Amino acid sequence: MRAIDRYLPIILLTLSLSFPAQAFNLVLGKPEISTLLTLVFPYQSQFGEWQVRMSDPQPEFNAGQQRIALGVSVSVKDSTGHLQAWGKVGGTLMYDKPSRQLQLMKPELLDFKVKQGKIEKLDPMLEQLKANLKQQLPLIILVDLNQINPGLAAFNPSAVRVVAEGIAVEF
């Protein structure tokens, strides 16, 4: 059992019993957000002949613009080589109440750097990727509360916002 599955219900139940008739706020700081992101990362996928792995997400918070950014390590392998890179994606934080998902709306690739290695066939794609920095990407689902623990259905946040120290969740 993952640590988040074990402790999140206890924390939420304790908080709900402490404030029975009022809404309450819970601020999730960088360590808690990093723990939640372990539900998604490391992310691995096969894109054609390339095996892509994204790991070690590093969240950054911009309360003034209600944006969050994630820096990730990227590893790409194929039969001809291996490359290590670093990328950053950012977007507006939104909580979709019906689907119970914390989403990154209008995400953009903010930065991408190859650290080491080379894959010849990948060079044109890397150049196109670098040329498209700041272009909008498809919606990114950061956390799906249904995947954490279906028994937490009663704990559906009424609002989620970015604060300087992390993400504030109101129940």
Task: Look at residue 40 in the predicted model and tell me its pLDDT.
Answer: 81
Q: Which domain holds residue 132?
A: 3-170
143 burial level (CB within 10 Å; 0-12, 13-18, 19+) = buried
CATH code for position 63: 3.15.10.40
Task: Look at residue 51 in the predicted model and tell me its pLDDT.
Answer: 84
pLDDT tens-digit readout, 94-153: 999 888 888 889 988 899 888 888 777 777 777 777 777 788 878 888 888 777 766 656
Q: What is the DSSP string of 10-56?
A: HHHHHHHHHSTTS--EEEEEHHHHHHHHTTT-SEEEEETTEEEEEEE
For residue 62, pLDDT over 80 is answered with yes
- Which pair of tokens denotes residue 167? 């993400």
pLDDT band at 159 (very low <50, low <70, confident <90, very high): confident
> Total domain count for the chain?
1
